[in-house]
Amino acid sequence: MTLLAAAHQASWLGQGVDVIVAWLLANAQGAFDVIKVSVLAVVSFIEILLDALPAWLLAWAVAAVGLWRVSGGFALFVLLGLNLVLSLQLWNAMIATLALVITASLLALVIGLPLGILSARYRSVWRVVRPCLDLMQTMPAFVYLIPAVMLFSTGAVPSILATLIFSMPPVVRLTQLGLSQVPADLLEAGRSFGCSERQLLWKVQMPTALPTVMTGVNQTIMLALSMVVIASMIGGGGLGDVVLRGIQQLDVGLGFEGGIAVVILAVILDRLSQSFTAREGQPLRQRWRAWMSPWRSS
């Protein structure tokens, strides 16, 4: 029995992590409080901003962006999908989830993009960052919830910070990859025209690598949405709570409604962010004429 109990306890590695967390709680609580207040202020501001818009206005605004960036069919899907969410009385939960996703994605981009640029510029930085990204991507998602709760209690803030860690690797990796794959002749041409290193980055490298970088942004947003749903276990709120209640109550219908709302939000975020990964496509006027042409009499 003693051996069996010992097998379920943390070994030297886990005990070392426990010591580090205990030291942080004892000596860095002030810094954690500042982070908590700052993140909470950002997510609260975004949620208030989204709540200030009437549901119909927000739906039409997103549909208009979808028509501009994607297609008329996608704009119709946005209107039907958001009206379905509204009819299921899950609009407020969807707004809460969207605010969490936007906040976590913005923080991931603010940290991840400069880190990707530095990794592309300096091999030594990439050698240090790459193993960290491997750890962040392969660690089970639920493991991030434990230190987040210990350091920040429960609620939106630990959910956002756990989501930040989980969703940041793609934008770092793909920014580094895109900048590293810029042809050398373009860099030489930029230098021959007198570009400084900063001009070379923003006027040559970033425009060339933009599709790859935007693919990383797209993947970061998608991972953030998936993690926000999981983070409902620590009080993240939003649609994740609906799915979690469905699991706890074994209510298939409730879980299905929450899942459908998540799918609709995921498709909208995916298509809109994905529209920036490709080169400039057909202009809106041409797409509108092509869409309307079958309805016109010959």
Entry pTM: 0.86
Is the pLDDT assigned to residue 195 strictly greater than 70? Answer: yes
Q: What is the mean pLDDT of residues 113-125?
A: 93
Residue type present at position 203: K
Q: So what's the pLDDT on residue 151? A: 81
Contacts of 255 (CB under 8 A, 6+ apart): 242, 243, 245, 246, 247
Is the pLDDT assigned to residue 262 strictly greater than 80? Answer: yes
Alpha helices in 53-144 (DSSP H): 55-69, 72-87, 91-121, 123-138
In the numeric block, which tokens belong to residue 233?
A: 């276990």
Q: What percent of the chain has pLDDT over 70?
A: 90
Is the pLDDT assigned to residue 2 strictly greater than 50? Answer: no
Residue 157 burial by CB count (10 A; 0-12/13-18/19+): exposed, middle or buried?
Answer: buried
| Angle subtended at Cα 231 by Cα 226 and Cα 237, rounded to the nearest 5 degrees | 105
d(CA 31, CA 36): 9
Could you give the count of Cα atoms lying within 13 Å of 29 in the half-sphere of its Cβ?
A: 7
Tokens 């939106």 found at: 156
206-222 pLDDT tens trace: 988 989 999 999 999 99
20-72 pLDDT tens trace: 878 887 887 888 888 889 999 999 999 999 999 899 999 999 999 999 888 88
In the numeric block, which tokens belong to residue 211?
A: 């599709």
In the numeric block, which tokens belong to residue 258?
A: 């929450």
Is the pLDDT assigned to residue 287 strictly greater than 70? Answer: no
Across 121-135, 235-249, 275-289, least confident range: 275-289
Alpha helices in 153-282 (DSSP H): 156-167, 169-180, 184-192, 197-200, 206-230, 239-248, 252-274
Is the pLDDT assigned to residue 1 strictly greater than 50? Answer: no
Tokens 């929450």 found at: 258
In the numeric block, which tokens belong to residue 294?
A: 């079958």
d(CA 220, CA 102): 11
Instruction: Compare 238 and 292 and report the one with higher pLDDT.
Output: 238
Q: What is the mean pLDDT of residues 69-87?
A: 92
* Structural Rg of the chain based on CA atoms: 23
What DSSP designation does 143 have? Answer: G
Query: Model confidence at 189, in pLDDT bands (50, 70, 90)?
Result: confident
Contact 201/193 with Cβ under 8 angstroms? no
Q: So what's the pLDDT on residue 57? A: 93
Instruction: Compare 120 and 10 and report the one with higher pLDDT.
Output: 120
129-180 pLDDT tens trace: 999 999 888 888 888 888 888 888 888 888 898 999 999 999 999 999 999 9
Instruction: Give kind and range of the element (H or E) at residue 206.
Output: helix 206-230
Is the pLDDT assigned to residue 281 strictly greater than 70? Answer: no
In the numeric block, which tokens belong to residue 108?
A: 């991931």
Residue type present at position 257: E
Is the pLDDT assigned to residue 243 strictly greater than 70? Answer: yes
Of 141, 138, 135, 133, the closest CA to residue 116 belongs to: 133
Q: What percent of the chain has pLDDT over 90?
A: 44
